[in-house]
Amino acid sequence: MNGSLAANAALLDELAQGLVQQQHCEVAVCVPAPYLAQVQAIKASSAGLLGLEIGGQDLSAHVSGAYTGETSAAMLKEFGCRYVVVGHSERRQYHLESDELVANKTRAALVAGLTPIVCVGETLAEREAGRTEEVVKRQLAAVIHLNGHCISEIVVAYEPVWAIGTGKTASPEQAQAVHAVLRAQLKAASNNPTHVKILYGGSMNAANAASLLSQADIDGGLIGGAALKAQDFLTIISAA
């Protein structure tokens, strides 16, 4: 829940200048719903942002109806979204989103032609109890169970809850170990497992991006606070 009309314009202007030189990886910004129209308009008017994709930060599991305050997949599509974040740890923690709800939101995105970025991750207590693998596999299994026929169309993001906004980061080796577990789980569930990108989302920043992205099963990053600073974001993009 960041941004303002002025801050968004400034960020996108700086990104446009830097992205002209960065055409070797996929880049998207996931925008708070009130600002989707602004970002769509800025993208349309800027040659430097032609390769930039837009995403939503959440969506409803429902198509439409009496769900005041919710945003549907169709609404996101109308504002040029290609992606949508589903099951972010903050949604699971503060809004009590269950594995089942995350799976249903994933289905709603897929049906509408959006690519869901499905987030999984463990808390500090779960990691210290040795339950990391159990937790992330359970969370992903719910999504696979409901969407197995098109699981190759999703993106997965591993975001250890203990490393989000805390300044702590999983070591490249810790992150790689969990990514490998998720890759194996996807491989068992999909006919096209190599197609599924797995992103790391635990406080990736300009300083640690290169070492994290060098790991075999880390395909990219789900960037939080570092993406609000254009130069830091561009450094991460360059590392990718």
Q: Which residues are annotated as a binding site?
A: 165, 203, 224-225
- 100 classed as catalytic: no
Spatial distance between the Cα atoms of 128 and 137, rounded to a whole number of angstroms: 17
- Which of 49, 45, 76 is closest to 63 using CA atoms? 76
β-partners of residue 31 are 56
Residues in the annotated binding site for substrate: 165, 203, 224-225
- 88 classed as catalytic: yes
| DSSP SS3 for 113 | coil
Spatial distance between the Cα atoms of 211 and 204, rounded to a whole number of angstroms: 10
Spatial distance between the Cα atoms of 59 and 67, rounded to a whole number of angstroms: 11
Choosing from 149, 159, 179, 195, the catalytic residue is 159
Cβ atoms of 42 and 12 within 8 Å: the answer is: yes
Choosing from 88, 122, 153, 179, the catalytic residue is 88
Spatial distance between the Cα atoms of 223 and 117, rounded to a whole number of angstroms: 12
Spatial distance between the Cα atoms of 75 and 73, rounded to a whole number of angstroms: 5
Quickly list H helices, 84-205.
Answer: 89-94, 99-112, 124-128, 132-147, 172-189
Structure tokens at 99: 């594995």
Q: List, edge to edge, every strand of the sheet that includes 115-120.
A: 27-31, 52-56, 81-86, 115-120, 155-158, 198-200, 220-221
Q: Which residues are catalytic?
A: 88, 159
